[in-house]
Amino acid sequence: MNTRNVYYCNYSIGTDAYGDVPSVCGLYGRKILLIGGEKALAAGKDRLQSALSGTGFEILDTVLYGHDCTYETIAKWADHAKAIGAQMIFGMGGGKALDTAKGAAAKAGLPVFTFPTIAATCAATTALSVVYREDGSFDSFYFYDRPACHCFMDLSIIAKAPVRYLQAGMGDTIGKFFECHFSARGDKLDHSSALGREISNMCYEPLREHGVQAMADCEAGTPSHALEQAVLANIVSTGLVSLMVLDDYNCAIAHSVYYGLVLLPGFEEKWLHGNVVAYGVLVQLAVDGDLSEARRLKAFLQALKIPTTLKEMDVALDRQHLKAMLTETVTGPDMDHIPYPVTEEMVFAAMETVETL
């Protein structure tokens, strides 16, 4: 019988989360390569250095990850980590910075620790990186045996980040709940996937309770209980689901709608991933005929100021204009495991319904 190993990312969260770094990371060494984004390092590096002061830990070098997470930059920083004698890699920033750090650590054979400065994705806790080509187009997913050893979430930093990242993170997190339950419908799940599906409930209801207040607190730059609950949903709950369920149950129509819409010229530059996924959930619910839930979700998304129609996103509801989008939506890999076949006609009809909910 084959053995399956499941690893989880431990975490610290609070306004002094970096204070736990010496005790948590001490087992792995003392010498650090810090990889991050420019704005993230400006927000978090001083706090990290303060936490390390007098502990014997040393940041050997601090580098900017680059423009995208690519196999070239991953290899570059892996080689650099080995060249300077780093014993661990710290990743600080958003998804691309963290994905680069995870990839470099995996390639260099070093432990990695994540320091998210925004709550837009679950990259800090997942065992994969989204890798792009040098021209900025998507290349592939780079999967790892395990996630980061530990994630340090400093709420005082995340609270001061632009609120649109928290907003988009909540949109993507909501998608995890609806897509996981939809794609797993009718299947008899093994223990890990079943547990992950149940955890996906924590990707929606806590946000319904705390999301609006979390947005207000983030706009005010105030760490709070509501913000903590939203951050945990965005980073931890989604990460756990991703780690536990089979790939079949991670995405469905909502994400496929996103990958269709980003084919429209200029669309991806204007709209954050999570906001579009949230709109895609409305389309998925309409395809599935659950308009009562779609109306309930629409009201909540409006409270979060997430666009709920194509009109709000400056996209024409025109079949010919959306031809490539519709084709991509129904043929994309996220549609490989759903409860029933979905056609372009079904998706377009659902988009018409969503437009007039």
Per-residue pLDDT band for 67 (boundaries 50, 70, 90) equals: confident
Residue 73 pLDDT class (50, 70, 90 cuts): very high
CB atoms within 10 A of CB 23: 10
Rg (CA), the chain: 20
H or E element that contains 99: helix 95-108
Q: Phi-psi bin for 116: left (phi > 0), alpha (psi -120 to 50), beta?
A: beta
Which residues sit opposite 151 in a β-bridge? 11, 114
**CA distances for 337 relative to 10, 178, 253, 334, angstroms:** 30, 14, 10, 7
Q: Average pLDDT of the chain? A: 96
Q: What is the pLDDT of residue 1?
A: 64
pLDDT, tens only, 253-290? 999 999 999 999 999 899 999 999 999 999 999 999 99
119 vs 321: CA distance, rounded Å: 33
Q: What type of residue sits at position 243?
A: L
264: its two tokens:
């429209």
Predicted confidence band at 6 (pLDDT cuts at 50, 70, 90)?
confident
As a whole number, mean pLDDT of residues 108-137 equals 93
pLDDT value at residue 244:
94
Per-residue model confidence as pLDDT tens digits over 140-186? 889 999 999 999 999 999 999 999 999 999 999 999 999 999 999 99
Closest of 193, 189, 35, 220 to residue 114, by C-alpha: 35
Distance in Å from the first CA to the final CA of the chain: 51
Task: Provide the pLDDT confidence category of residue 106 given band limits of 50, 70 and 90.
Answer: very high
| 314: pLDDT strictly greater than 70 | yes
Spell 231-265 as b/e; 16+ CB within 10 A means b: bbbbbbbbbbbbbbbeebbbbbbbbbbbbbbbebe
Query: Would you state the pLDDT for residue 137?
Result: 74
pLDDT above 90 (res 37) = yes
pLDDT at 141: 86
User: Looking up tokens 């830990």, which residue turns up?
Assistant: 57
Identify the band that residue 336 occupies on the pLDDT scale cut at 50, 70 and 90.
very high
The arithmetic mean of pLDDT across residues 29-48, rounded, is 97
Rounded to two decimals, what is the model's pTM? Answer: 0.94
Give me the pLDDT at residue 135, please: 82
